[in-house]
Structure 1
Amino acid sequence: MTGPAERPVPARPRLSVAAEPDPEQFAQWLTDLAFGGAGWPVLLARLAEVAGTGARLVGPTGDLLADSGDSGRDDGAGGSGSGVDRRRGGWPGGRVADPELLGAERVRCTDGWLGRVVPVGTGSRRIGVLLLAEPVDGRQIDYGRAAVTALLIEAVRREPPQPPVPVGAEAVLRALRDGPGAGAVAGREELLRAAAGYGWRLDQPHAAVALGYTGAQRRRWASALTWLDRPVLTEDGYGWTLLHDDPQREVTRLRRRLEQIVGAGQVLVACGRAVADPGRTPESFRDARLLLGLLLRHPGGPSGLSPGAPAGELPFDRAGVAQLLLAVPDERLHWFVDRHLGPIAGRDDLLHTLDHWLASGGSRQAVSEQLHLHRNSVGYRVGLIKRLLGVDPLDPSTAAVLRTALVARELLITAAGAG
Structure 2
Amino acid sequence: MGTVAEARSGPARERAGPDREPAGPDREPAGLERELTEAVLAGAARSDVLRALLRATGRQVRLLSAEGVPLATTDGGSGVAATVADGVLSGVAEPVVDTLDGLCATALPVRAGTTLGGVLLTVGPADPRVQALAGAAVTALLIDAVRAGDASAEVSPRHTPADVVAALRSGTVSPSVCAAAAGLGIDLRRPPAGAVLHYSGSRLRAWSTALAWLEHPVRQEGRTAWTVVSGEVVLARLQSRLRLMTGDESAGDHVVAASGFYPDSTIGLARSFIEAERLLGLARSRRVPLLTFAGCGVVQLLLPLPRAELEAYAEAHLGPIRQRPELMATLRAWLAERGSRQSVSEQLHLHRNSVGYRVRQIKNLLGTDPLIPAASAQLHLALAALDLLAADDQRLRGDDEEPVSAGR
Same-fold status (TM-score > 0.5): yes
Give the letter for the 1:174 counterpart.
A
The answer to whether 1:315 aligns with 2:292 is yes
**What's the secondary structure of 1:409's corresponding residue?**
helix
The answer to whether 1:250 aligns with 2:234 is yes
Aligned position for 1:273:
261
Aligned position for 1:227:
213
- What CA distance in whole angstroms lies between the structure 1 residues aligned with 2:160 and 2:235? 24
- What CA distance in whole angstroms lies between the structure 1 residues aligned with 2:170 and 2:191? 18
Cα distance per residue 1:321-380 (max 9 Å; x no partner): 111110122221111111001111122222121111111110111112222222222222
- What CA distance in whole angstroms lies between the structure 1 residues aligned with 2:162 and 2:303? 26
**Unaligned 5+ runs, structure 2:** 1-156, 397-408
Q: Residue 386 of structure 1 contacts residue 392 of structure 1 at CA under 8 Å; is this kept in 2? A: yes
Which of 139, 160, 166 matches 2:158?
166
The correspondence of residues 234-245 of structure 1 with structure 2, limited to 5 A, is 234-244=220-230
Q: CA shift at 1:197, angstroms?
A: 2.3
Q: Residue 195 of structure 2 contacts residue 259 of structure 2 at CA under 8 Å; is this kept in 1? A: yes
Aligned position for 2:97:
none
Aligned position for 2:324:
347
The correspondence of residues 9-20 of structure 1 with structure 2, limited to 5 A, is none
Cα distance per residue 1:280-338 (max 9 Å; x no partner): 101110111011111221213xxxxxxxxxxx111111001111110122221111111
Q: CA shift at 1:416, angstroms?
A: 2.0
Give the letter for the 2:245 counterpart.
I
Q: 1:368 to 1:174 in 2, by over 3 A?
A: same
- What CA distance in whole angstroms lies between the structure 1 residues aligned with 2:394 and 2:344? 28
The correspondence of residues 89-100 of structure 1 with structure 2, limited to 5 A, is none
**What's the secondary structure of 2:197's corresponding residue?**
strand
Q: Residue 200 of structure 2 contacts residue 223 of structure 2 at CA under 8 Å; is this kept in 1? A: no
- What CA distance in whole angstroms lies between the structure 2 residues aligned with 1:374 and 1:243? 47
**What's the secondary structure of 1:202's corresponding residue?**
coil
The correspondence of residues 101-112 of structure 1 with structure 2, limited to 5 A, is none
Q: CA shift at 1:215, angstroms?
A: 1.3
The correspondence of residues 54-69 of structure 1 with structure 2, limited to 5 A, is none
Aligned position for 1:259:
243
Aligned position for 2:199:
213
Aligned position for 2:171:
179
Q: Residue 294 of structure 1 contacts residue 411 of structure 1 at CA under 8 Å; is this kept in 2? A: yes
**What's the secondary structure of 2:257's corresponding residue?**
strand
Aligned position for 1:308:
none
**Unaligned 5+ runs, structure 1:** 1-164, 181-186, 301-311
Q: Residue 341 of structure 1 contacts residue 405 of structure 1 at CA under 8 Å; is this kept in 2? A: yes
- What CA distance in whole angstroms lies between the structure 1 residues aligned with 2:354 and 2:222? 41
Q: 1:341 to 1:203 in 2, by over 3 A?
A: same
Cα distance per residue 1:88-114 (max 9 Å; x no partner): xxxxxxxxxxxxxxxxxxxxxxxxxxx
Aligned Cα root-mean-square deviation (Å): 1.5
Which of 263, 273, 276 matches 1:288?
276
Q: Residue 271 of structure 1 contacts residue 314 of structure 1 at CA under 8 Å; is this kept in 2? A: yes
Give the letter for the 2:381 counterpart.
T
- What CA distance in whole angstroms lies between the structure 1 residues aligned with 2:243 and 2:313? 38
- What CA distance in whole angstroms lies between the structure 2 residues aligned with 1:393 and 1:209? 34
Per the normalisation by structure 1, the TM-score is: 0.54
The correspondence of residues 126-141 of structure 1 with structure 2, limited to 5 A, is none
Which of 355, 360, 365 matches 1:388?
365
- What CA distance in whole angstroms lies between the structure 2 residues aligned with 1:236 and 1:345? 33
Q: Residue 194 of structure 2 contacts residue 261 of structure 2 at CA under 8 Å; is this kept in 1? A: yes
Tell which structure's C-alpha radius of gyration is larger: 2
- What CA distance in whole angstroms lies between the structure 1 residues aligned with 2:347 and 2:171? 43
**What's the secondary structure of 1:211's corresponding residue?**
strand
The alignment of Structure 1 onto Structure 2 pairs a total of residues equal to 236
Cα distance per residue 1:138-159 (max 9 Å; x no partner): xxxxxxxxxxxxxxxxxxxxxx
Which of 360, 370, 375 matches 2:352?
375
**What's the secondary structure of 1:412's corresponding residue?**
helix
Aligned position for 2:112:
none
Identical positions, percent: 42
Q: Residue 251 of structure 1 contacts residue 315 of structure 1 at CA under 8 Å; is this kept in 2? A: no
